[in-house]
Chains A and B, each alone.
Chain A
């Protein structure tokens, strides 16, 4: 939620002087399970990321795995060779980037 909308709320509906409080953040966290990586996405208010684009991209900017979050708001894939990052992409500004080094439990 933008500050603009919050200002509107401030003036009319709620009056909330919130910044992060009422936001609708996209989030994406990934964990390594053996040779697989499982990513869970969503929005901080609890909205599912089903259908949101998730791309696994190499440091050379090649899209290794183009995918979408499934109905359980997750996606799992085999860990690619080399260095990569995972991009949760719900459109410009609504992205979350997870570097392979930030994947929980991955062998570095």
Chain B
């Protein structure tokens, strides 16, 4: 049969090997999932909370009467998400018993101007909630990460922590950004 994909007419040993084996080389693609497997498992354990609050070390932040713990979700600088800007994720854990009083926790880079503008909102359980923050272009390394707690009775509290405390990579990213300006 002469139609179809031809074997070729190589005469050298290497050429013949190539002709016989070239179409089996895609089996090497199996190495890709093998290589990706450890990262996959570590990501999943981060999602389920098996790996702790976040990738970063959890730090205490006092917000009014509440002692919260915050950790960065990934140990990376903010990720550029196009129109949605540079994004950075954090997770928080409430003090024991505080879940009965705390209605919501918001987070923002820089001091919030009002409750409406308190920033991203944490979602999840009282032991582990996460939020996805935009880093506004005007934020610089002198701005802290601000948390706003709303109580069920309407009381609002603010608290802050230095960015380099909770995310050294973000602090370095902000410093780099300033240098470029």
A–B contact at 8 Å CB threshold (below): yes
* A17:B136 contact, CB within 8 angstroms: no
Residue A107 lies at the interface, judged by CB distance under 8 Å to chain B? no
Q: Which residues of B contact A77 (CB under 8 A)?
A: none
Residue A102 lies at the interface, judged by CB distance under 8 Å to chain B? yes
Question: Given A7-B47, A17-B47, A27–B116 Cβ distance below 8 Å?
Answer: no
User: Whole-angstrom distance from the CB of A45 to the nearest CB of chain B?
Assistant: 10
* A25:B81 contact, CB within 8 angstroms: yes
* A92:B121 contact, CB within 8 angstroms: yes
User: Whole-angstrom distance from the CB of A9 to the nearest CB of chain B?
Assistant: 10
* B138:A19 contact, CB within 8 angstroms: no
* A96:B134 contact, CB within 8 angstroms: yes
Q: Which residues of B contact A17 (CB under 8 A)?
A: 40, 43-44, 47
Residue A66 lies at the interface, judged by CB distance under 8 Å to chain B? no
User: Whole-angstrom distance from the CB of A24 to the nearest CB of chain B?
Assistant: 10
Partner of A87, one of B73, B84, B117: B117
Q: Which residues of B contact A44 (CB under 8 A)?
A: 81-84
User: Whole-angstrom distance from the CB of B89 to the nearest CB of chain A?
Assistant: 6
Q: Which residues of B contact A27 (CB under 8 A)?
A: 83-85
- A104 nearest in chain B by CB position: B137
Contact flags B79-93 to A (C-beta < 8 A → 1, else 0): 101111101010000
Partner of A10, one of B47, B74, B85, B130: B47
Partner of A61, one of B89, B114, B134: B114
**Size of A's binding interface in residues, CB under 8 A:** 32
Partner of B116, one of A6, A26, A87: A87
Contact flags B35-70 to A (C-beta < 8 A → 1, else 0): 000001001100110000000000000000000000
User: Whole-angstrom distance from the CB of B101 to the nearest CB of chain A?
Assistant: 17
Docked Cα-Cα span, A10 to B118, in Å, equals 30
Contact flags A72-108 to B (C-beta < 8 A → 1, else 0): 0000000000000101010011111111011000000
In the complex, besides A17-B47, A87-B116, A92-B106, 19 extra interface pairs with C-beta distance below 8 angstroms are A2-B123, A3-B124, A4-B124, A7-B47, A10-B48, A17-B43, A19-B74, A19-B89, A20-B87, A23-B132, A25-B134, A27-B85, A61-B113, A85-B113, A92-B104, A93-B123, A93-B131, A95-B116, A99-B136
State the B residues within 8 Å of A (CB): 40, 43-44, 47-48, 73-74, 79, 81-85, 87, 89, 104, 106, 113-114, 116-121, 123-124, 130-132, 134, 136-138
Task: Show 10 residue pairs from A and B whose CB-CB distance is below 8 angstroms, ordered by the A residue.
Answer: A7-B48, A19-B73, A27-B85, A57-B113, A87-B116, A92-B118, A93-B121, A96-B134, A97-B119, A97-B136
Please provide the 6 A-B residue pairs with the shortest distance between their CB atoms, ordered closest to farther: A93-B121, A25-B84, A17-B43, A2-B123, A27-B83, A44-B84
